[in-house]
Amino acid sequence: MEIRTDLAIENRELYKEEKNEEVPGVEVKKEEGQDYTVTKVNILNHVGAKIMCKPEGLYITIEVPKLKNTDQELREEISKLLAKEIKGMGYNDKHTKTLIVGLGNWKVTPDSLGPKVIDRVMVTRQFFIAYNKDEDETVANVSALSPGVMGLTGIETGEIIKGIVEKTKPDLVVAVDALASRKMERVNTTIQITDTGINPGSGLGNRRIGLNKDYLGVPVLAVGVPTVVDAATMISDTMDMIIGSMKDKAIVGGEFYSLLDDISREEKYHLIKEVLEPYMPNVVVTPKEIDLIIDDLSIIIANGLNIALHHGIDLKDVNRYIR
């Protein structure tokens, strides 16, 4: 199926809906909190990777239904949870030199998450250079940049990052980007962390050079939030809900709705794509409050990265720094 999603948890759901069984070669663990759910999808081998259409590795999904209408207390809770999950992946310590890359186009609001996070991360590499230090008891060696997109620079984002990695020699790259979901309810309410890297522009369907360990030569953690959903996918899901409701309420004609319900998801999706093609090809949908939501999300992710990477500071210190 050509349903657009960047979330490993959704690829797993698609398989389970079709086969009614767990994906072979994939291990899943789930943790429930009061306001969140953490699902860890670990793709163990090439069988699972082929079915999931994802590289082997760990995919951590933090789902927070209230994240779109969050308050300060919930923002802080999710920031600490994000930091905990990043630390738990074991890729950084106080000696680690980290490069944070904010992917995306700052001129397109749903795609501006990465650049906005870069505005709020604590950058310290210049102090390590100025004082000729290898480590510090409070902060780690962190650099950051937002390289823009090929439409603005004329240069592949991967090429820019590779050149910087070769010059500055970080031990770890953390890439932040906007993603796409197949469900509207996950848009702006879900954070995915993975140790497999990322393809810049994936949230808007623009596949570029992948940022991963094979290409850059260092481990790459990717942090992403789905900010858009494919229009055809949303219409297909809406149709399913309408058909289900009409079938339940129908006094007569229930057989007709059952017939519609029997049409496969793939057939519905491609039918909708064909209908939309002359009018709205490749349309993605995002909430109208996306500018405010992106600001909140960028604070949450920046806070989480700051706490995770800088070993001697806590959320109180970070809040003093965040602009």
Residues 38, 23 within the same domain: yes
Rounded average pLDDT over 118-134: 95
Residues 122, 84 within the same domain: yes
In a domain, 1, yes or no: no
Say if residue 259's pLDDT is above 60. Answer: yes
Residues 215, 254 within the same domain: no
The predicted-structure confidence for 15-27, as pLDDT tens digits, reads as follows 988 888 999 999 9
Residues 124, 252 within the same domain: no
In a domain, 281, yes or no: no
Following CA atoms 313, 314, 317, 321 in sequence, which dihedral angle do they give, to the nearest 10 degrees? 90
| Per-residue pLDDT at 251 | 58
Rounded average pLDDT over 146-153: 89
| Per-residue pLDDT at 206 | 58
| Per-residue pLDDT at 197 | 95
In a domain, 134, yes or no: yes
Provide the whole-model pTM: 0.88
- Span of 127-141, 158-172, 259-273 with lowest mean pLDDT: 259-273
In a domain, 282, yes or no: no
| pLDDT bucket at 202, cuts 50 / 70 / 90 | low
Q: How far, in whole angstroms, is CA 193 from its chain's centroid?
A: 7
Residues 185, 267 within the same domain: no
In a domain, 50, yes or no: yes
The predicted-structure confidence for 64-92, as pLDDT tens digits, reads as follows 999 887 788 999 999 999 999 999 999 88
| Per-residue pLDDT at 3 | 66
Place of tokens 């519905």: 268
Which residues span the domain enclosing 244? 233-276
| Residue 285: its H or E element | strand 284-285
Q: Whole-angstrom Cα distance, residue 210 to residue 175?
A: 11
Residues 145, 84 within the same domain: yes
Say if residue 107's pLDDT is above 50. Answer: yes
Tell me which residue of 193, 173, 178, 176 sits closest to 9, measured CA to CA. 193
Calculate ∠ Cα 30-47-19, nearest 5°: 65
| Per-residue pLDDT at 252 | 59
| Residue 187 DSSP class | T
Q: How far, in whole angstroms, is CA 317 from its chain's centroid?
A: 26
Rounded average pLDDT over 119-137: 94
Phi-psi category of residue 39: left, alpha or beta, with phi > 0 → left and psi -120 to 50 → alpha: beta
Rounded average pLDDT over 278-295: 84
* Exposed / middle / buried, residue 322 (Cβ in 10 Å: 0-12, 13-18, 19+): middle
Give the count of domains, the chain: 2
| Per-residue pLDDT at 236 | 76
Q: Contacts for 279-284 with beta carbons within 8 Å, 24 or more apart?
A: 280/231, 282/205, 283/230, 283/231, 283/232, 284/4, 284/110, 284/180, 284/204, 284/205, 284/228, 284/229, 284/230, 284/231
In a domain, 107, yes or no: yes
**Is there a contact between 224 and 6 (Cβ–Cβ < 8 Å)?**
yes
Place of tokens 């086969």: 19
What six digits make up the tokens of 198? 């990322």
Q: Whole-angstrom Cα distance, residue 235 to residue 246?
A: 16
Rounded average pLDDT over 125-140: 94
Tell me which residue of 305, 61, 56 sits closest to 196, measured CA to CA. 56
Task: Please report, for the domain that includes residue 54, its CATH number.
Answer: 3.40.50.1450
- For residue 89, the number of C-alpha atoms closer than 13 Å in the C-beta half-sphere is 27
Rounded average pLDDT over 94-102: 95
In a domain, 135, yes or no: yes
Residues 108, 187 within the same domain: yes
Percent of the chain residues past pLDDT 90, beyond the cut: 62
Residues 79, 117 within the same domain: yes
Q: Whole-angstrom Cα distance, residue 273 to residue 235?
A: 10
Residues 169, 187 within the same domain: yes
Say if residue 246's pLDDT is above 90. Answer: no
Rounded average pLDDT over 99-128: 95
For the chain, give the mean pLDDT. 88
| pLDDT bucket at 191, cuts 50 / 70 / 90 | very high
Rounded average pLDDT over 160-167: 96
Q: Point out which residues pair with 97 in neighbouring strands.
A: 141
Residues 121, 49 within the same domain: yes
Residues 176, 29 within the same domain: yes
End-to-end CA distance of the chain: 43
Residues 260, 114 within the same domain: no
What six digits make up the tokens of 82? 């994000």
The predicted-structure confidence for 208-242, as pLDDT tens digits, reads as follows 688 999 999 999 999 999 999 888 777 777 777 77
* Exposed / middle / buried, residue 32 (Cβ in 10 Å: 0-12, 13-18, 19+): exposed
Say if residue 280's pLDDT is above 70. Answer: no
| Per-residue pLDDT at 1 | 45
Q: Which amino acid is at 142?
A: V
In a domain, 67, yes or no: yes
What six digits make up the tokens of 215? 């290409």
**Is there a contact between 190 and 203 (Cβ–Cβ < 8 Å)?**
no
Antiparallel, parallel or unpaired: β 190-194 and 220-230: antiparallel
| pLDDT bucket at 318, cuts 50 / 70 / 90 | confident
Tell me which residue of 219, 209, 106 sits closest to 152, measured CA to CA. 106
